[in-house]
């Protein structure tokens, strides 16, 4: 069963802690992306990666970090430097110009 | 810089009636245009896209969209709405690129509410 999986579905973090969101795909897509969704603001691009061991900053990369050690995996770390991390985080991968999305992780900072 | 405008925060329509969700865009060069749908607490589902060719694009679940270059619009339409179509709809644009990664710009979304 092919697709994009994100874990966990819900995540709670205390202020000052780093947390890592998982994104895995078995679609054999080269490119992967991380977006943040806030109410009324649509989706904003955090980071994207075109190939393994390469990634670029998106529009709101400050306070986030990523790695791309395997084609299938693109984890996102939300660091303590991110001032307002509470949001819905969406991972996507793409082939032939079309992006396909995972189910999302809802991060709440307590 | 590219941008997308979805001028209506919410669209209300009765089941069985036609629906239109509006989208206008701004991009350098030829646009690639997309519509996605999002149900509560879920990821985005791809509905349809325009790359080139016929201005009327047909997609999933009976949806279609019409590309209008002169008006820079890509409105989403469906001839007969269903209650199950109620969701959040996003329009997205990117310029033509030969790169592997497609950097999309999304609109702020339009909530579609279909009632009996």
* B106-116 per-position pLDDT tens digit: 999 999 999 99
More confident residue, A100 or B96: A100
Q: What local confidence, expressed as pLDDT, does residue B101 receive? A: 65
Closest CA to A21 of A88, A84, A98, A105: A105
By a Cβ cutoff of 8 Å, what residues of chain A touch chain B?
4, 6, 30-31, 33, 40-45, 48-51, 56, 58, 88, 90, 92, 94, 97-104, 106
pLDDT of res. B98? 61
Q: With an 8 Å Cβ cutoff, are A58 and B103 in contact?
A: yes
CA distance B42 to chain A (A): 5
Backbone angles phi, psi at B83, to 5 degrees: -55, -35
User: What is chain B's mean pLDDT, rounded?
Assistant: 93
Give pLDDT tens digits for A35-66: 999 987 889 999 999 999 999 999 999 999 99
Q: What is the pLDDT of residue B29?
A: 86
pLDDT at A5 exceeding the cut of 60: yes
Judge: B43–A104 Cβ closer than 8 Å, yes or no: yes
Q: Are strands B3-5 and B105-106 parallel, antiparallel or unpaired?
A: unpaired
pLDDT at residue B41 in the model: 85
CB of B43 within 8 Å of a chain A CB? The answer is yes
């Amino acid at each position: 069963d092919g697709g994009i999986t994100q874990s966990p579905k819900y995540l709670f973090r205390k202020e000052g802690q780093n947390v890592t969101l998982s994104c895995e795909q078995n679609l054999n897509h080269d490119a992967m992306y991380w977006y943040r969704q806030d109410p009324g603001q649509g989706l904003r691009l955090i980071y994207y990666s075109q190939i393994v061991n390469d990634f670029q900053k998106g529009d709101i990369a400050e306070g986030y970090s990523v790695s791309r050690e395997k084609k299938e995996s693109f984890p996102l770390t939300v660091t303590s430097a991110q001032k307002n991390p509470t949001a819905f985080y969406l991972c996507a991968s793409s082939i032939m110009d079309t992006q396909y999305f995972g189910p999302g992780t809802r991060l709440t900072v307590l | 810089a590219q941008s997308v405008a979805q001028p209506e925060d919410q669209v209300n329509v009765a089941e069985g009636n036609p629906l239109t969700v509006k989208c206008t865009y701004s991009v350098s060069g030829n646009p690639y245009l997309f519509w996605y749908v999002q149900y509560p607490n879920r990821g985005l589902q791809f509905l349809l896209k325009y790359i080139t060719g016929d201005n009327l694009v047909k997609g999933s679940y009976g949806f279609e969209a019409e590309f209008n270059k002169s008006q820079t619009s890509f409105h989403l339409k469906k001839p007969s709405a269903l209650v199950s179509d109620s969701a959040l709809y996003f329009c997205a644009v990117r310029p033509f690129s030969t790169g592997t990664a497609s950097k999309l710009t999304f609109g702020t979304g339009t909530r579609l509410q279909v009632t009996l």
